[in-house]
Amino acid sequence: MRRVLGAGLVMALSAIAGAATPTYLVEWLSRTGEATQRVTLFSDGVLVRKSTADGKTEMKKRKLSATEYDSYAAMFRAPEAEQAAGVFQSGISGEGVAQSVITVTRADGSVWKLEFDSFSAVTLEAQRIKAALEDLRVSFGKAMASSADFPVEKLTPGTILRRRDGVAFRVIHYDDHAGIVEVKAESEPYSQFYKLENLHLSFYPP
Asked if 115 and 101 count as a contact pair (C-beta separation under 8 A), the reply is yes
- Whole-number Å distance between alpha carbons of 190 and 42: 32
Is the Cβ–Cβ distance between 15 and 3 less than 8 Å? no
Q: How many CA atoms lie within 13 A of 65 on its CB side?
A: 9
- Average pLDDT, rounded, for the chain: 86
The 10s digit of each residue's pLDDT in 11-69 is: 444 444 444 678 999 999 999 998 999 999 999 999 999 999 988 999 999 999 888 88
For residue 159, the Cα-to-chain-centroid distance in whole angstroms is 25
Could you report the per-residue pLDDT of 76-103, keeping only the tens digit for each? 998 889 999 999 999 998 888 999 999 9
How far apart, in whole angstroms, are the C-alpha atoms of residue 39 and residue 43?
13
